[in-house]
Amino acid sequence: SESVSFSPPNSTRNASLGPCKASYSKRLRQHDQSHNDSVLAEFGGEKGRLLLFSLHEAKSLFENRAGDIIFSFLCRTTKRHLTFYDGTNSCLPGVCHVSMAEPFCAKTREVLLDVAKKLGIKCHSKGTVITVEGPRFSSRAESLMFRSCGADVINMTTVPEVILAKEAGICYASIAMATDYDCWKEHEETVSVDRVLKTLKENANKATSLLLTAIPQIGSMEWSETHQNLKKYSLTLPRVITFEP
């Protein structure tokens, strides 16, 4: 069976905590352990398969970037646990050299784009998100630098969630709903929490319609090959390697 899980904005953390203190790995474990015995998704068996949708509020670094279906990411975080395999007692043993060339599930992204088009929801087929540490907003100089780096939107939560999902073999897709233009655009209203919350409410109905329509379509599709490819990325290398003389 196909299990679909939804990650709403800021669900990784208590609102009283900054994004760098969020327990991303714990939440990914909870998603996966709801139908698996370990953090690694055991695709193809009786335990089912897992797809994870993540909806992130973001700030647009270009005009008209609302509703980006994320294609890639840039990481500007410094304090987060980026792997399930970091050598501590609470994590998994070994080292995971996971490929992030294509961090988001292309097949799931295609479904979201198709559904958005049918529903008349404006979106962009590709987008690159840059995740910053937060909780502060960007300076204008930073915002302009992020634009020059090729990022389309900026947020504080996609990383490390996307990396951990790839390690766990989870089919992961992300939708960035832009709330404002950050601060790069001159003569634009300054970013404020009230303005962000107002736009988030406006985006909620679109996101709900998109997901409620996409999920049944996903359930009717064949995903075995996709999950087998994802499973390969969950392999680990031992920390201690011995060589025969």
Q: Please choose, from the candidates 57, 47, 49, 43, the residue with its C-alpha nearest in 3D space to the C-alpha of residue 7.
A: 57
Domain map (residue ranges) of the chain? 50-236
In the residue annotation, 86 being an active-site residue is answered as no
Give the Cα separation of 157 and 139 in Å (integer): 18
Question: pLDDT tens-digit profile of 74-86?
Answer: 999 998 988 888 7
In this predicted model, which residue has the larger pLDDT, 232 or 112?
112
The highest-level CATH class for domain 50-236 is alpha beta
Calculate mean pLDDT across residues 172-190: 84
Give the Cα separation of 58 and 67 in Å (integer): 9
Give the Cα separation of 231 and 14 in Å (integer): 31
Binning pLDDT at 50, 70 and 90, where does residue 237 land? low
Give the Cα separation of 84 and 124 in Å (integer): 31
Binning pLDDT at 50, 70 and 90, where does residue 159 land? very high
pLDDT at site 110 = 94
Q: Are 187 and 166 in contact (CB under 8 A)?
A: no
In the residue annotation, 32 being an active-site residue is answered as no
pTM of this prediction?
A: 0.80
Give alpha helix (H) positions in 151-239.
158-167, 193-219, 224-232
pLDDT at site 150 = 94
Tokens of 32: 């996966």
Q: Annotated catalytic residue: which of 68, 152, 182, 194?
A: 182
pLDDT at site 38 = 37
Q: Are 196 and 56 in contact (CB under 8 A)?
A: no
Other CB atoms within 10 Å distance of the CB of residue 169:
26
Q: Annotated catalytic residue: which of 32, 68, 152, 180?
A: 180
